Structures are given as structure tokens and as C-alpha cells.
Amino acid sequence: MQELLLHCRPGFESEVAAEMQELSAQKGIAGYPITRDGAAVVRFVCPEEGDAGRLMRKLDFRQLIFVRQWAVGTWLDVPADDRISPIISACAKGPIASSLWLETADTNDGKALAALTKKLGRPLETALTKTRFVRPAKTDAPRLHVFFESGERLFVGWSWAGNAAPWPMGIPRLKVPREAPSRSTLKLEEAWHYFIPRDEWDRRLAPGMTAVDLGAAPGGWTWQLVNRHMKVTAVDNGPMAKSLMDSGQVEHVEADGYMFKPKKPVQWLVCDIVDKPARSSAMLARWLTRGWCREAIVNFKLPMKQRYREVMQCLEHVQDALDEANIRASIACKQLYTDREEVTCHVRILHAASYKVEQ
């Protein structure tokens, strides 16, 4: 029986389960989740033959909030002395793939399997290429995922590049820039990679643009904006890194980020303030409907309970405010790899029939 294997941040398995149950019901496909706390993966089983694949095709991966990566396939029990043959047999029943990704859960147990996956990677890829089940020249073919739950328990599945994360396990390989004043800088960089197509960066993250960073200190997110040669208003009662102030591109305003009003509209609003998600979503809606920004990335810090429902309420609040203001916008939300107890929301104004800038 085929099923969906869903990667996520450890501890958010129940959020993935709630999200998938709601979405599968909306699509009219029966299914149920199998979860284990802290496993960093969720199984979503569709009892009817072919329904797991149909559900994957009907859902837009970019609309999934808590799912980091996914694949559709089957589980295998393999002997320790020959893991490759069962994988080859499973691949014979699936589509031709363009590439092979060996994966584990993003947990300590998963990391302990790294030596095994590294040892198996080359001979498995050679065997799959020889049998023509992996053909690198077929760039439009799906990726083959081989997920190791243990040395004897594997999941063999497939995902399609246009409807999945572009990285194995949904984890981008980003490094903290030495010049950045905090590790939080990666949150904004990953958000750009996830929400903005790379060929649009020069237009949508252009030099000379203006931006406001709410809750900026010490400047991890401001550093990313400055690195794109933007002019930044950094709002925080705390001190900013001296290197950023010396750049000449940053104006530091000592104020409460939620109370700040820009003197004139900016292209970008970014915010990583630690506060209730409802307060952050209300602030985001205010900036968008009053014409203070054209594009925004805001993190919603999540409570310990009802996190999925809290996120959906925040997104509904923003959407309702935009609808009332007759503003058409794209809204996306994701728990990124660099996020912790939070999700990242991205909004871009597309059209405003009666767009007025208010103070």
C-alpha cells in the first residue's frame, strides 16, 4: 500500500497530522496519520489504492505549513547483508527517477545512520543507474527518495520537483555569514529562498529598495537587507551592531516595533518579534492595508497547544483584512528549517483597487 512520508521539525508531528487530515478531507480523499512524538516524520496512509498519489497531485506543496518535505511510496524490510536488491525491486514498480536522495529523520537517531547512508550511497546509485531506474538526463522525472528508519527498515518513494522542496529532507544548506551579528540572519535568508524564485531576486530584492525591520536588534535580519544594498530603518529599543550602523544604510529608531509608523511607504517589512502570534498578524494586516509596505516577511511565535489552529486563525485574520480593503495579495506560510517554535509568513501585494497610504 502506498502512503505519504512527511518530514517535519521534531515535536511538530501533531501539527502535520492535523494539517494533512484537514486537507485530505477537503480534497475528498480518505486517509489517516500515524505519528510518534519527536520522530520528525509522519506517515499518512490512504487505504484506497492510488489515493496517496492522487492526494499528492491535488495538494500544492507550497501551501503546506508544517511539512518540510514529502514523498509517496512504500515501506520495505531489508536484510543487513543485501539492502540494494529489495530497493531495486521496489523501483521496478515505480516511475523512472532523475536523481537519488538518501534521507533520514532530522533526529539524533537519524544522524546516527549517516555512516550507513554514506556507505550505501555510491553502490546504490551505480546499481540504479545501471538498471536505468535513475536516469540523470531525464530532468523532468521525479526524484527517488530512500528514507532510512533503521538499517533494516526503509521507505522508497518519489517526489516531483515542481511540487516538493528542492532539498533532501527539506533542509537547505545555508551557512551563517561571519559578518552577521546573529544566527537569526538565516531565517530571513531561508525565507527568501523559499518564498521568492531565485530568478526574481534582482527585481524584488533590488539595491536601493527601502525596508523596515521591526524588533531588529542586534541586526541579524537587517544584515541580510543591508547585504542586498537596501536602506533600512531598524526599529528596536536594544542596540544595533556597530558594523551595521557604520554601513551608512541603517537608521536606528529606538521604539516599540508594534507601535512604529513609517514616515513613508517602503518596499519591505520584516519582523521577528517574540510576542503573541495574534499581535503579529494584526500588525502585519495593518501595514498591508494602510499601504505602508508592498511585501512582508513576519514570524509568528507559536504557543505550546493548538499551534496549527493558531496559525490558521492568524492567516485568516490577515486575509480578511486584505479582502475588506479590496487588496489582492499572495499569502504563504511555512515552518522553515531555521524556525523553532514559530512559522514564517510571507505576503506580497499583487493589486489594490483602491490603494491608499494612511498614516
Q: Which amino acid is at 355?
A: Y
Burial class (CB in 10 A: 0-12, 13-18, 19+), 188: buried
Question: Residues 6 or more apart from 36 whose CB is under 8 A from it?
Answer: 13
Helices 185-195 & 220-227 angle (0-180, nearest 10) = 50
Residue appearing with cell numbers 512582508: 296
What is the C-alpha separation between 147 and 42, in angstroms, rounded? 12
Choose the catalytic residue: 301, 305, 334, 356. Answer: 301
Picking from 280, 357, 288, the residue whose alpha carbon sits closest to that of residue 323 is: 288
C-alpha cell at 92: 521496478
* 187 catalytic residue (yes or no): no
Q: 327: which residues sit within 8 A by CB, 6+ positions away?
A: 288, 289, 349, 351, 352, 353, 355
Q: Give the residue numbers annotated as catalytic, written as ranges.
A: 301
